[in-house]
Amino acid sequence: MSRTAQISRVTGETNIDVTLELDGSGTVQTNTGIPFFNHMLSAFGRHGLFDVSIHAVGDIDVDFHHTVEDTGIVLGQAFREALGDKSGITRFAHACIPMDETLVLAAVDISGRGELYWDVPIGPDKVGDFDCELGHEFFAGFARDAGVTLHIRKICGENAHHILEAAFKAAGRAMRLACEFDERVVGVPSTKGSLS
Q: Helix or strand or coil: residue 24?
A: coil
Query: Parallel, antiparallel, or unpaired: how do β-strands 28-31 and 51-58 relate?
Result: parallel
What is the structure's pLDDT at 125?
86
What is the structure's pLDDT at 184?
76
Model-level pTM? Answer: 0.94
In a domain, 122, yes or no: yes
List average pLDDT for each run of 10 residues in the chain, which is 196 residues long.
93 97 98 98 98 97 96 98 91 97 97 95 87 97 98 97 97 97 69 56
In a domain, 109, yes or no: yes
Q: How many domains does the chain have?
A: 1
CATH of the domain at 26: 3.30.230.40
Q: Which domain holds residue 31?
A: 4-179
In a domain, 158, yes or no: yes
What is the structure's pLDDT at 188?
59
What is the structure's pLDDT at 182?
84
Q: How far is CA 33 from CA 56, 72, 163, in A?
A: 7, 15, 22
In a domain, 43, yes or no: yes
In the 8-state DSSP scheme, what is residue 89?
Answer: B
